[in-house]
Amino acid sequence: MKEYPYITNEKLQLFIRQAFLEDVGDGDHSTLACVPYDSVQEAELKVKDDGIIAGIELAKIIFATFDPSLKIETYKRDGDRVKFGDIAFKVKGSSQSILTCERLVLNCMQRMSGIATYANEMMSLVSGTNTKILDTRKTTPNFRMFEKWAVKIGGAENHRFGLYDMVMLKDNHVDFSGSITKAVEQTKDYLANHHLHLKIEVETRNLDEVKEALDANVDFIMLDNFSLDELREAVKLIDRKVKTEASGGITKESVRAIAVTGVDFISSGAIIHSAKNFDLSLKAIK
């Protein structure tokens, strides 16, 4: 998991424990009532959509955590392009264990595959440019780790994970501080006093703010809701002195034109919050 520093075994196990506590409670009584304890069966993960599959590795961890005796045979890997009718994997072992894990596995994989598919589509739309698609913090509480994992599986990039791993001075920070200059000065003092080495990004709303952010010597400049002409002018003004990020209502229809202006990054909350769940099902093999 070196590519995903925000994913640790401790965090995975905490999520899985809490998810099972939420779903199973004092027992999966539907399964316990009618499926014999010693029943052994096999089920397959059926793909009922077209796109990018994600969450297979997570599914393996969920199954192994709940019942290490379950055997998984995979036919697809995270990031593979799949189509309706494909089989992603088979799981064999305790019928009770398979049934109790089913919904948690599907909920995670359907969400992650939908995000991976959306992220992949956005990256395809900017192919041939030097622009990368970034996610945002517009995520589902307590599920961010998996949503950002899915973004990477889909081929896009992760922005900061939370409020702690990068400084992003947005419009409200600037307005509450008085100006970009004051906000950046105070931030640099704060970081020095607390021995923190974090990149600083500043959101700008017009070209005057872009100039001010440049003079403040930050690491990234966000160009929020700029028109295409304004983006081109801002990119020319910045002249690669710092990294540029376009944001604000990015859609599949607009992303290509924005990338062509020459920005380094385009951040899109939609690749997570507007992704449609992927259609998957876990079916018993008769």
For the annotated catalytic residues, the residue numbers are: 103, 138, 170, 203, 224
User: Buried b vs exposed e over 260-272: b needs ≥16 C-beta within 10 Å?
Assistant: ebbbbbbbbbbbb
Read off φ and ψ for residue 29, nearest 5 degrees.
-70, -30
